[in-house]
Structures are given as C-alpha cells and as structure tokens.
Amino acid sequence: MTIEAPRRVGQAFDTDELVLNMGPQHPSTHGVLRVVLRLDGERVVDADCVIGYIHRGVEKLCENRDWTQIILLTDRMDYVAAATSNLGYVETVEKLMQVEVPRRARYIRTILAELQRIASHCLWLGTHAMDIGAMTVLLYAFREREHVLDLFEEYCGARLTYNSMRIGGLPLDIPTGWDKKVSAFCDLMEPKLDEYEELLTNNRIWVGRTRDIGVISGEEATALGLCGPPLRGSGVSRDVRKDEPNAAYEEFDFDIPLGTRGDTYDRYLIRLEEFKQSIRIIRQALEGMPEGPVMGKVPRLIKPPAGETYHAIESPKGELGYFIVSDGRSTNPYRFRVRPPSFCNLQGLRRLVRGHLVADVVALIGTIDIVLGEVDR
Amino acid sequence: MLETFIIPLLQIAVLLNAVLVAVTFMVLMERKVMAWAQARLGPMRVGPHGILQAIVDPIKLILKEDITPVAADKWVFTVAPIMSLVPALVVFSVVPFGPDPLYYVADINVGLLFIVAVTSIGVYGIILGGWSSNSKYPLLASLRASAQLISYEIAVTMTLVSVILTSGTLSLVGIVEAQREAGVWFGFIQPVAFVLVFIGGLAETNRVPFDLPEAETELTGGFHTEYSGMRFALFFLAEYANIIVISAIVAIMFLGGWMRPFPNVEALAFLDLIPPWIWLIGKIFLFLYVFIWIRATLPRYRYDQLMRLGWKVLIPIAIGNLVITGIVKVLV
C-alpha cells in the first residue's frame, strides 16, 4: 500500500481527510477490485488500486500445460470475452510455428471475435449505466447479450468459457443455418442500439454525469499505456485490427471511431459506435464467407520451434498481447506472459479519479471497462 | 367519550394498518412495474403472479437476525429507525380521504404547516442512523441526505406558500374545498408549483434521480448499510410511507384530492358514484406509478449537480412563482 496516512487540511475548522476503502466487496468495482480512496469531503485526493484478489497464477499454470490445454486457460482470463482471449493465444502460437490458417477459419474467427466484442460491450454498457443509476439499460443490454451467448452455445456448446479455437484453425465448422442466425442477430441489434441511445445519449443527467469526467489527453493516455477505447477516446488512432491486421480484418471495411475530448462521454460514444462497426464487419464476413476447410495442416504433437514471439490482437477492452517463449524441446511453453488490456487500463484509474467526487470514481471504474479475471490472471 | 376517543382511535388503527399494508404492496408494485419496464417478469413464485410476495417480504425481514455493530452507538442506533418511521406515519393523520370527518383523523387549521414540520423530523432518523453506525459509507450518505433534504425542503415549502396564497387556507380539507369553489384543480392554476413540488418530492423521498443517500452503486447501501432485519425494515417502511405522503399531498393540493375530475362539469356527475376515498387513492397510485416509472428511466444526479439544481434552479423558480402569485392575487 502506497497511500499516505490522512493529513490535516485547512486551518480554521481542523478538518481531516478520510480514507475510504472501496471494495473488494463493493457493488460497483466490477469484481474484486479494491480502491483505497483518500477523500477531502467527497472529493478524491488520491486513490490506490489494490489488486490480486483472484490471482490464480494463470501464466505460471500455462507454462506447465500442453500447448492445446492452454486455450482452455485463456478462457479464464477475460471471462466476458473468452473468444478474443482464445484468438490472441492461438494466433501467437501459429505465428511461432509459421502455420497457415485456412481463409474460412480466419473469417469465422473474425465473426466470433466481433460477436464477442458486442457481448462484452453489452456487459460494459449495462454495468456502466447501472453504476450511474440507469438501471433499465442493464437489463436491456443483457437481453441482447443473451442472443450472442445463444449463438456461441450453438457454435461450440459453451456460453461463457468457449474454448472455441484451435492452433491452426477451428475445432468445428459452423452449424447449418448458423450464419443466417448471426445475420438475423445483426438486424435485431441495430434498432436496439438506438434504444440505448434514446435512454442515454441525449439524457441531460447522463451527459452531466459523464461529460468532462476523467479527461485525459492523448499524450498522457499513451504515456500511461492505456489501450482500446480509453486510448481512442483521447483521439489516438490505435487499433490493432487496423494497424497490425490479424484474423481476416485486412479484408474488411470498417472505421475506427475516435474521441475528441477524452472524457467519459467520449469513451461511451466510441463503444456505442464500435457496436455498429462490429455489426458491419460481421455482415461483410458473412457475405464473403469462403468455402474450404476450417483446420490447417498442424502436426499431431504441437511443438513450436525454439524462439520467442509477441503477438497482439484488439480485444473488446484494448490491446491483448501474448509473449511466448518456446525452447523447442518440450510440449509446453518455456515462458508465457500476457499483456492484459484491463490491467494496463486500470493503471490509469488513479490519474483519472484525482480531483473528482466519490460518485465519479464509480463512473470511471466503469468507463475503463475492466475484468478482474484478466487484471489478476 | 365516543367522539373524542373511540372513533379517532379506530380511525388511527384503520389508517395505520392501511398505510403499512399499502407500503408492502407498493414494494410489490414497484418490483412488478420495474420488471415490466425492463423486459422481465418480476416476482412470480409466491402466489399467483407473485402477489403474496408483499406478505412474505415483511415476514422475512422480521425473522432475520438483528445485528448491531460493535462500534455502533447502540442507543442512537436503535432510536434512529423509529425516529424515521414515526413522523412518516403521523403525517397521515391530517390527510383527508373525503369531505366527511369520518375520512380523516384530524382537520387542523395549520395542516400544511404540520406536514412540512413533521416530515422534516424524519431527516433526523437518517442523520442519526448514518452517524451512529460508526461506519464511513453510512456517514457520507447521511451527510448527503441531510444537505439534500434541507435544500429541497426550502424549495418545496416556498412553492407550497404560493398554493396557500391561491387557496387562502392551510387546512388540507380547506384546500380541496377551495378547489371545488374555484371549479378547477390547482394543478391547472399553478402548473409551475405542481412540477416543483413533484420534483422536490422526488428529492425529499430520496427517489431516483435524487437517490444519492442510498446510492447502492456508490455507497453500497447508503445510510442503512449497517442495518439489518426489522430495523432496516423500519427505514424501508418510512421511505415508502413518505412516498405515499408526498403523492397524497400532491394529489390533494394540485389534483383536487377526493374530487372527481372536472368538478364543475355537470355532465360528469355520474362519476360521483365512486366514493371520494377511491378517487384520492387512485390519484395517489397514479403518482406512485410515475415515481416508479422515473426510477426505471433516469440515471442518478451527482451530489454537486443535485445541490446546484436545488439552489440555483428550483429555489429561484419557487420564489419567482411566489412573487407572481402574490402580484396576481393583489390585482385580481
């Protein structure tokens, strides 16, 4: 704990600062995050994040597992976006092994990743709005998230931890009629987005609660290592899908929404726009879906050659990177390291909350969209 | 003997029971209406469509373990919920459910002043409850609550004065009678006051979008975080009783109380067949519904925004409304 002891402020009234412990059991810390706040009245003087309450040692566990078994462990990191965690890992190993992935597999992966982005953003929107007091949005967003989970269930049988990808491709081709259901979901989702916007975007209270809250400049955001929507909200155009295209992203047309002010409202607008861009990508992928196998040529026993590699993808929360070292001899990685976007974005919280009120802390935890499973690993 | 003691006591007994039962059913109504707004079903398990949930909830709260934190100020901790509930119930004594003395416990000539005075005692319960818990979240919440209630009290009282100017009386029965004589509900004569009192009522009863003292997602539960079991239930009862009180006051002052709509239109006289108390209760439930509807729709204000709204918007409008009412009153 680096937080200082409360100190006396003011002369006449002899007022003290108050140290308030928020979490790990608090309704709006999105899991077991603990934030120690130093308050002057209701104004936050300083904040300190204490993490590690669900540290399971996933990275170390991965170093003792088979290359294919690791996919299952990546599910348990960002458990609200398991498919993108899978995608990042399998692509890293494929890069290490120089495996060619069939085009159809890359298309389906893109669809899964974008569906996952929609599901993850639904959860973010619902909880973020709930934290600010708009209760109904939560249930509306979960209603749509349910459709995505149904699609995943039909594809791979699981609703949360999918284990949906394999090194070199996919375990399964899409079921018959699944593409039609995905397309129907896209048609269903678009009007729902207008519904969310109707409830929030022009709502005076919502704008009042998010405008100019947690403003951060592009330079500062970059210096803090923020990624994903919090970085793009400050106007920095950085999206791994565009900059270092993976899966089949280079074949699709989509925009990267950017913010101008770098406040909570901008980050909200960006994520809402990302919903629309995801739907756009999914539609293109469904239309141009190539025929062919979904599994590339991969040896029965996966043993990548000695070497190390770093590969990143754009998860719903930001840049999700894997750094993997293989010694070329064993059937497990020599070193396994994740660059989790939630962890990196959480670093910004202390900077964001300073000078704001207690109520804003909750809004700011919501706006950086963290999953503690990924922060602690 | 009969006139002075027995009938009032019976009235009080009926009224208290009616209010407490109404509160439990209002909780059920809130859960159901919220559920419909949010594309879900709400309580469905106990009784047909969850009707009996209203009875099961209080039973659960009574049976729950009653915990007093070690560090709490035990005496104050015990008294606080009572101080919160009693004023909320006492206020009902002056609420007239009909023109006949049978329909109200008391018609005092300073009825409105009595209501304003008694409801503001309720805030002591919240402050003391938060303070005696000896815990940080309840303390912050109770500080918020006291600031909020006092600021909105001013706006509401200022607005009520302009209604008193219009009606010429402080008695609630008199206010309804004045509306009958005027032939129109005061809601149409004083629309600004109507809206102001309603907004102030939302704030005074800690409802969304002004529910800061019990902002779950910020302060984990607000001033009653440390309370459990029946003591928590007392706060809960007080809160909902207050909502009913505010709805009743707004209905009486602006929507003609127990009167049917358009009391001066003879063609609608057949509506008088419905007893007056049903009209008032219907109007109260209309407001309760709007309260719940607002809760399902709006996010929450932040503390400073709330104070700004109270002091910089509502109070100036209330004063302006009062001045204009006064000028009109003198000229007409």
**pLDDT at residue A149, rounded to an integer:** 92
Q: Shortest Cα distance from A209 to chain B (angstroms)?
A: 7
**pLDDT at residue B106, rounded to an integer:** 79
Quickly state the pLDDT bin for A120 (edges 50, 70, 90).
Answer: very high
C-alpha dihedral, B81 to B85 to B87 to B92, nearest 10°: 180
How would you label B107-135 residue by residue, b for 16+ Cβ within 10 Å and e otherwise? Answer: ebeebbebbbebbeebbebbbbbbbbbbb
A13 has pLDDT over 70: no
Quickly state the pLDDT bin for B217 (edges 50, 70, 90).
Answer: low
The pLDDT tens digits of the residues spanning B1-24 come to 777 788 888 888 888 888 888 888
Residue B44 at interface with chain A, using a CB cutoff of 8 Å? no
Across the interface, of B38, B295, B305, the residue whose CB is closest to A208 is B305
DSSP string, B64-81: S-----TTS-HHHHHHHH
Residue A219's Cβ-count burial label (10 Å; 0-12, 13-18, 19+) is exposed
Phi and psi at residue B228, in whole multiples of 5°? Answer: -145, 170
Across the interface, of A26, A134, A361, the residue whose CB is closest to B299 is A134
Instruction: Print the domain residue range for A173.
Output: 58-369
A1 has pLDDT over 60: no
**pLDDT at residue A118, rounded to an integer:** 92
Q: B182 CB contacts (<8 Å, ≥6 apart)?
A: B189
Task: Kindly identify which residue of chain B lies nearest to residue A134, measuring between CA atoms.
Answer: B299
Q: What is the mean pLDDT of residues B39-44?
A: 85
Quickly state the pLDDT bin for A209 (edges 50, 70, 90).
Answer: confident
The pLDDT tens digits of the residues spanning A280-329 come to 999 999 888 888 888 888 888 888 888 889 999 999 998 999 999 988 88
**pLDDT at residue A323, rounded to an integer:** 92
Per the domain annotation, does A306 fall within a domain?
yes
**pLDDT at residue A121, rounded to an integer:** 92
Q: What is the mean pLDDT of residues B303-320?
A: 88
The pLDDT tens digits of the residues spanning B174-198 come to 888 888 888 788 888 888 888 888 8
Q: What is the mean pLDDT of residues A81-95?
A: 90
Quickly state the pLDDT bin for B216 (edges 50, 70, 90).
Answer: low
Per the domain annotation, does A244 fall within a domain?
yes
Per the domain annotation, does A331 fall within a domain?
yes
Q: How crowded is the C-beta side of B184, counted as CA atoms within 13 Å?
A: 7
A161 has pLDDT over 70: yes
**pLDDT at residue B112, rounded to an integer:** 87
Residue B212 at interface with chain A, using a CB cutoff of 8 Å? yes
Contact residues on chain A for B38, CB-CB shorter than 8 A: 135-136, 139-140
DSSP string, A121-189: HHHHHHHHHHHTT-HHHHHHHHHHHHHHHHHHHHHHS-SS-----BTTB-SSPPPTTHHHHHHHHHHHH
B30 has pLDDT over 70: yes
Least confident range of A127-141, A166-180, A339-353, B251-265? B251-265
Q: What is the mean pLDDT of residues A37-42?
A: 82
- Asked if residue B209 has a cis previous peptide bond (ω within 30° of 0), the answer is yes
- Name residues 246-305 of chain B within 8 A of A (Cβ): 295-305
Q: What is the mean pLDDT of residues A322-346?
A: 89
What is the residue type of B165? L
For residue B290, the tally of other CB atoms under 10 A from its CB is 14
**pLDDT at residue A351, rounded to an integer:** 87
**Domain residue extents for chain B:** 68-331
Q: What is the CATH number of the domain that holds A254?
A: 1.10.645.10
Residue A132 at interface with chain B, using a CB cutoff of 8 Å? yes
DSSP class of residue B169 equals -
Least confident range of A320-329, B199-208, B234-243? B199-208
A14 has pLDDT over 80: no
The pLDDT tens digits of the residues spanning A260-292 come to 888 899 999 999 999 999 999 999 998 888 888
- Helix, strand, or coil (residue B331): helix
Across the interface, of A42, A209, A358, the residue whose CB is closest to B299 is A209
Tokens describing residue A109? 């992966």
The pLDDT tens digits of the residues spanning B55-87 come to 888 888 888 888 888 888 888 888 888 888 899
**pLDDT at residue A11, rounded to an integer:** 60
Asked if residues A90 and A167 have their Cβ atoms less than 8 Å apart, the reply is: yes
Between residues A81 and B101, which one has the greater pLDDT? Answer: A81
Residue B41 at interface with chain A, using a CB cutoff of 8 Å? no
Contact residues on chain B for A208, CB-CB shorter than 8 A: 301-302, 305
Contact residues on chain A for B305, CB-CB shorter than 8 A: 205, 208-209
- Helix, strand, or coil (residue B23): helix
Q: Shortest Cα distance from B84 to chain A (angstroms)?
A: 25
**Do the bridges between strand A15-16 and strand A8-9 make them parallel or antiparallel, or are there none, so unpaired?**
antiparallel
Tokens describing residue A177? 């009629």
Q: Using alpha carbons, select from B154, B144, B141, B149 the residue that is nearest to residue B123.
A: B149
What is the residue type of A290? P
Per the domain annotation, does A171 fall within a domain?
yes
Contact residues on chain B for A362, CB-CB shorter than 8 A: 217-218
A358 has pLDDT over 70: yes
Contact residues on chain B for A21, CB-CB shorter than 8 A: 136
Q: Say yes or no for a CB contact (<8 Å) between A136 and B305.
A: no
Q: What is the mean pLDDT of residues B253-262?
A: 81
pTM of the model: 0.84
Which sign does the torsion angle of CA A31, A358, B306, B81 carry? positive
Residue A357 at interface with chain B, using a CB cutoff of 8 Å? yes
Q: Shortest Cα distance from B269 to chain A (angstroms)?
A: 42
Quickly state the pLDDT bin for A38 (edges 50, 70, 90).
Answer: confident
Q: What is the arrangement of strands in the sheet containing A34-40, beginning at the earlier edge strand?
A: A18-22, A34-40, A43-50
Q: Say yes or no for a CB contact (<8 Å) between B300 and A132.
A: yes
- Helix, strand, or coil (residue A49): strand
Average pLDDT, chain A: 86
Task: Kindly identify which residue of chain A lies nearest to residue B211, measuring between CA atoms.
Answer: A133
Cβ pairs A/B, distance under 8 A: 83
Task: Kindly identify which residue of chain B lies nearest to residue A18, measuring between CA atoms.
Answer: B136
Q: Say yes or no for a CB contact (<8 Å) between A134 and B40.
A: no
- Asked if residue B263 has a cis previous peptide bond (ω within 30° of 0), the answer is no
Across the interface, of B144, B209, B296, the residue whose CB is closest to A136 is B296
Q: Say yes or no for a CB contact (<8 Å) between B299 and A205.
A: yes
Q: Say yes or no for a CB contact (<8 Å) between A130 and B217.
A: yes
Q: Say yes or no for a CB contact (<8 Å) between B298 and A208.
A: no
Residue A65 at interface with chain B, using a CB cutoff of 8 Å? no
A10 has pLDDT over 70: no
Interface probe for A, chosen from B302, B304, B307 (most Cβ of A below 10 Å), is B302
Average pLDDT, chain B: 84
CA–CA gap between residue B243 and residue B26 (Å, rounded): 10
* Structural domain count of chain A: 1
